[in-house]
A and B are shown apart, each in its own frame.
Chain A
Amino acid sequence: MNAMLGGAVLVAAVDPVPWARAQMAFTLMFHIILVPLGVSWAFMTLIANYRGLRHDDQDALVLAQRWSKYMAVTFAVGAVTGTVLTFEFGLLWPRFMGQWGEAFGVPFAFEGLFFFTEAIFIAIYIFGWRRLKPWAHFWTGVPVVLAGVLGSVSVVAANAWMNAPSGFTLGPDGTIVDVDPIQVIFNDAMPLQAAHMVIAAYLVGGFLIASVYATGMLRGRRDHYHHLGFVIAFSVAAVATPIQMGVGDSLARWVYNNQPVKFAAIELVPQTSSDVPETLLGHLNQDGTVTGGIPIPGLASWLSDPSTGESTVVQGLDTVPPDERPTVRQTDSVHLAWDVMVGLGTLLLLLSAWYGASWAFRRRMPASRWFLRAAACTGVLGVLTMEAGWVVTEVGRQPWIVYNHMKVQDAATGNTGVWITFLAVVALYAVLGVTTVLVLRSMSRRFRRTGELAEHEIPYGPREPQAAPAPADQERVR
């Protein structure tokens, strides 16, 4: 153990790059779990709110109110972890930002705008439960939904720019001399990548929330309130899932056309050829051969371009020099992540189909306990699917940070202390993650135990009535 640590220190002292990558990957993968909740939960809350007002459904209103309070917690954690990411751009990748900031950075100006709008209207919405007329209050939630979508589109636009850099002119010394912000934001990869992420946010957010209510129903809480919570969230996810499959398919074809090396890593294609099999699992060897896995003959070629079918040529990894393509280990990660994403996505699609068929033919959700058990797993599965997708797009781009323009190793900081910050961040985020879950659970337990008596104690919750404080208030202020 000591030797290992000593070795780690030694490595870190010469090379901060792996630590910087590990830290960036870790903080992004943490932040991305909160993204679906920030983007899609407000939409589901408004559905419940609408139902409550339109059909005079008191349970739906209580549900909407509680969701908005959970949302405040997850939004706060998301805001903090997002702020850390803005620090990290500079702390970990100063040379990337120094050289490309004038182009890459532009979408973030708009992201900041939308984030701020979202923060303000979440606060108004939560305050508004006590202070606004019902329909006016409902409408203050709408900007939250729009800003959530536009904010994530802006961030993904920046990431898409790293895949398809455009909108700038380089001078003779390789620095940017001119920028076209429209071209930067609306780069070639942006529309599909942004759509894929926004729909993922609705898919994962829906499954995450539905899984909580499915668990509750399995434990015997089969009242109208839990039923509503499940049906709203699961329906949103079930609608998003098939759309996501279509968008994902188009995006994969975009990668085939524009990032052939990433595509080769995805499909595990060492040499350029036609009639490429779709290999399930398996891995690449150092000598460029593929071992293991279940090949489905010709399918990768056929999927890449159905019009030419099995004769479609797929470019191999060997078409670029080794230092311009993912390493063997990275290729294996990309391929495995791809299999995980598609595999779990298909499972979620089947479950959505079951749910949809039940509504279509029986006008109710599936009654089977097996369905609820499966639904209780969809939250975790959805998150895994999304993380796997993130690995595909990020690791598949390696070694480039700006595709075909700058490599990750040339972008990183020279600070040799990054391994320390990495460890500190992991420790802090572990505590943060565990505490977030504990806090959400304790809120849920308190909601169940005391009804709404103690609800003002939640962050940004309605302030306690000042004329006649509830007993809990007196306790706190005394």
Chain B
Amino acid sequence: MSTAVAAVLLLAVVVYAVFGGADFGAGFWDLIAGGPERGRRPRAAIERSIGPVWEANHVWLIFIFVVLWTSFPEAYASITLTLFVPLTIAALGIVLRGASFAFRKVVATTPQRRVLGGGFAISSVLVPYCMGAIAGGIASGRVPAGGRAGDPVDSWINPTSVLGGVLAVAVVAYLAAVYLIWDARRAGDVDMVAYFRRRAMAAAVAAAVIAAAGVLVLRADARYLYDGLTSRALPLVILSVVCGAGALVLLVRDAARGARVLAVVAVASIVCSWGVAQWPYLLPESLTVSAAASPTGTLTAILFAVALAAVIVVPGFALLYVLDQRGVLPEEGVRD
């Protein structure tokens, strides 16, 4: 049963990376969109695109925490004690990002918008970097078992963490650009399609280069993870490479469909490969999933909540998505 909960945990990480990650990535493009004049149109496109969904995406992160602290409390205590600093930065970054984004839309003057927009954009880069660094610290075995604190500095400032952080920023920027192409195409905005297509290709190449360099980093710094990635997780790595390459080809050829799905699969499979590579460990080489797991009663409750979510949340989410995709329905209700 602990395996099932671990799978749920990994799934939540994947979903957070794919949905939440894209929101952060949009902030990255916002950050480098240039001055108020030059960056106006891309910023408007970004605002339109992520407005409705960003707050719901926090729930994946909350869910990751909830699963960790209920099902693997000892590991959770170790992680929060060891990685106190990057977790704190991520938490503050989330506040800054969410608030400044929501507020930027309602303030009117340009200087106010610039301050809030700056807060939104910088924290959008900071948070995924910290998340990637945290993943790197865990994956390279720097978090000890037993609810103890590891090295407070080396645990997140180390080769694997830097790799994780940079890769996370590149990947979310890539995902966001691919989504934004789709949105711009739907809005019939040819300029913005070209704008984000160029950026999606650049981000794809950057992510590929970082990932390739990362193999060498992992070989030197996170041997267990490296061994896993080159053995039992190899099919997932290959899937990711194939999908990533396929998505790039579609981007280059300016294909209307397909790139988005391939990009999502590429990112999802690379996140999955992390989980598979460090199996059976939750904290590599010090705490296995089965040893870390809570009593059966708790795990049952978690799986029950997940099943309930599938029944309640998925239809609601599908409805929201359909309403969003259908665009313009007959206008009813209040005149506007």
Please give the residue numbers on chain A whose beta carbons come within 8 Å of chain B beta carbons, in ascending order.
58, 61-62, 64-65, 73, 75-77, 79-84, 86-91, 94-95, 97-103, 105-106, 108-110, 112-113, 115-117, 119-121, 123-124, 127-134, 137, 143, 176-181, 413-415, 417, 421, 424-425, 428-429, 432, 435-436, 439, 442-443, 452, 455-460, 462-463, 465-466, 476-478
Selected contact of A115 from candidates B59, B76, B147, CB within 8 Å: B59
9 nearest A-B pairs in the assembled complex, by CB-CB distance: A98-B77, A101-B73, A90-B80, A105-B70, A102-B294, A181-B301, A179-B297, A131-B329, A109-B305
Residues of chain A within 8 A of B323, CB atoms compared: 124, 127-128, 131-132
Known: A134-B332, A428-B92, A466-B328. A94 touches B301 (CB 8 A): no
Residues of B290-311 at the interface with A, using a CB-CB cut-off of 8 Å, are 294-298, 300-302, 304-305, 308-309
B252 contacts chain A at the CB level, 8 A cutoff: no
Residues of chain B within 8 A of A443, CB atoms compared: 106
- A109 close to B106 (CB less than 8 A): no
B95 contacts chain A at the CB level, 8 A cutoff: yes
- B317 close to A120 (CB less than 8 A): yes
- A115 close to B102 (CB less than 8 A): no
- A124 close to B73 (CB less than 8 A): no
- A131 close to B328 (CB less than 8 A): yes
Residues of chain B within 8 A of A414, CB atoms compared: 81, 149
- A457 close to B91 (CB less than 8 A): no
Residues of chain B within 8 A of A124, CB atoms compared: 316, 319-320, 323
A/B interface sample: 16 pairs, CB < 8 A: A83-B62, A84-B91, A84-B94, A91-B87, A98-B76, A101-B73, A103-B298, A116-B313, A120-B319, A121-B316, A127-B320, A131-B330, A428-B92, A428-B95, A456-B336, A478-B40
Known: A87-B87, A116-B59, A435-B103. A61 touches B312 (CB 8 A): no
Considering residues B67, B74, B106, which has the most beta carbons from chain A within 10 angstroms of its beta carbon? B106
- B333 close to A128 (CB less than 8 A): yes
Q: How far is the CB of A152 from chain B (nearest CB, A)?
A: 15
- Bound: A88/B65 CA distance, A: 11
Interface flags for B40-69 (1: CB within 8 Å of A; 0: not) read 110010001001110110110111011101
Using A65-B334, A120-B316, A421-B88 as known contacts, list a sample of 10 further A-B pairs with CB atoms less than 8 Å apart, ordered by residue number in A: A77-B99, A77-B102, A79-B58, A86-B62, A90-B79, A94-B147, A98-B73, A415-B149, A429-B95, A442-B108
Residues of chain A within 8 A of B152, CB atoms compared: 415
Q: How far is the CB of B297 from chain A (nearest CB, A)?
A: 4
Residues of chain A within 8 A of B107, CB atoms compared: 439, 442
Known: A103-B298, A463-B48. A116 touches B319 (CB 8 A): no
- Bound: A130/B332 CA distance, A: 6
Interface residues contributed by chain B, number (CB under 8 Å): 81
Residues of chain B within 8 A of A129, CB atoms compared: 333-334, 336
- B81 close to A132 (CB less than 8 A): no
- B320 close to A120 (CB less than 8 A): yes
B154 contacts chain A at the CB level, 8 A cutoff: no
Residues of chain B within 8 A of A134, CB atoms compared: 332-333
- Bound: A29/B297 CA distance, A: 32
- B316 close to A179 (CB less than 8 A): no
- B94 close to A80 (CB less than 8 A): yes
Q: How far is the CB of A296 from chain B (nearest CB, A)?
A: 45
B96 contacts chain A at the CB level, 8 A cutoff: yes
Chain A interface helix/strand/loop/mixed? helix
Selected contact of A117 from candidates B44, B102, B316, B332, CB within 8 Å: B316
Considering residues A88, A443, A459, which has the most beta carbons from chain B within 10 angstroms of its beta carbon? A459
Interface flags for B267-295 (1: CB within 8 Å of A; 0: not) read 00000000000000000000000000011
Residue of A nearest to B94 (CB): A83
- Bound: A432/B98 CA distance, A: 10
- B55 close to A119 (CB less than 8 A): yes
Known: A432-B95, A442-B108. A99 touches B65 (CB 8 A): no
Residues of chain B within 8 A of A88, CB atoms compared: 91
Residue of B nearest to A179 (CB): B297
- A100 close to B73 (CB less than 8 A): yes
B84 contacts chain A at the CB level, 8 A cutoff: yes
Chain B interface helix/strand/loop/mixed? helix
Selected contact of B70 from candidates A90, A109, A128, CB within 8 Å: A109
- Bound: A58/B225 CA distance, A: 63
Residues of B249-267 at the interface with A, using a CB-CB cut-off of 8 Å, are none
B38 contacts chain A at the CB level, 8 A cutoff: no
Q: How far is the CB of A432 from chain B (nearest CB, A)?
A: 5
Selected contact of B58 from candidates A80, A95, A415, CB within 8 Å: A80
Q: How far is the CB of A427 from chain B (nearest CB, A)?
A: 10
- Bound: A194/B44 CA distance, A: 43
Residues of chain A within 8 A of B105, CB atoms compared: 457-459
- Bound: A77/B79 CA distance, A: 27
Considering residues B61, B67, B326, B336, which has the most beta carbons from chain A within 10 angstroms of its beta carbon? B336
- Bound: A81/B304 CA distance, A: 27
Selected contact of A181 from candidates B40, B300, B328, CB within 8 Å: B300
- Bound: A89/B68 CA distance, A: 12
Residue of A nearest to B101 (CB): A459
Selected contact of A105 from candidates B66, B95, B308, CB within 8 Å: B66
- Bound: A97/B81 CA distance, A: 11
- Bound: A76/B53 CA distance, A: 11
- A455 close to B66 (CB less than 8 A): no
- A432 close to B56 (CB less than 8 A): no
- B84 close to A413 (CB less than 8 A): yes
- B76 close to A460 (CB less than 8 A): no
B71 contacts chain A at the CB level, 8 A cutoff: yes
- A439 close to B312 (CB less than 8 A): no
- A65 close to B84 (CB less than 8 A): no
Selected contact of A98 from candidates B94, B147, B309, B332, CB within 8 Å: B147
Residues of chain A within 8 A of B79, CB atoms compared: 90
- A108 close to B70 (CB less than 8 A): yes
Q: How far is the CB of A324 from chain B (nearest CB, A)?
A: 25
Residues of chain A within 8 A of B74, CB atoms compared: 98
Selected contact of B81 from candidates A413, A429, A462, CB within 8 Å: A413
- Bound: A133/B331 CA distance, A: 8
B187 contacts chain A at the CB level, 8 A cutoff: yes
Q: How far is the CB of B112 from chain A (nearest CB, A)?
A: 10
- A477 close to B41 (CB less than 8 A): yes
Selected contact of A413 from candidates B40, B80, B96, B304, CB within 8 Å: B80
Residues of chain B within 8 A of A73, CB atoms compared: 102, 106
- Bound: A143/B317 CA distance, A: 13
Residue of A nearest to B308 (CB): A113
Q: How far is the CB of B303 from chain A (nearest CB, A)?
A: 10
Residues of chain B within 8 A of A121, CB atoms compared: 316
Residues of chain B within 8 A of A98, CB atoms compared: 73-74, 76-78, 147
- A89 close to B69 (CB less than 8 A): yes
- A417 close to B106 (CB less than 8 A): no
Residues of chain A within 8 A of B67, CB atoms compared: 109
Interface flags for B138-160 (1: CB within 8 Å of A; 0: not) read 00000000010100100000000
- B56 close to A119 (CB less than 8 A): yes
- A452 close to B84 (CB less than 8 A): no
Residues of chain B within 8 A of A442, CB atoms compared: 106-108
Known: A91-B80, A101-B76. A80 touches B99 (CB 8 A): yes
- Bound: A180/B298 CA distance, A: 7
Q: How far is the CB of A124 from chain B (nearest CB, A)?
A: 5
Selected contact of B305 from candidates A89, A113, A180, A429, CB within 8 Å: A113
- A94 close to B59 (CB less than 8 A): no
Selected contact of B91 from candidates A83, A177, A435, A452, CB within 8 Å: A83
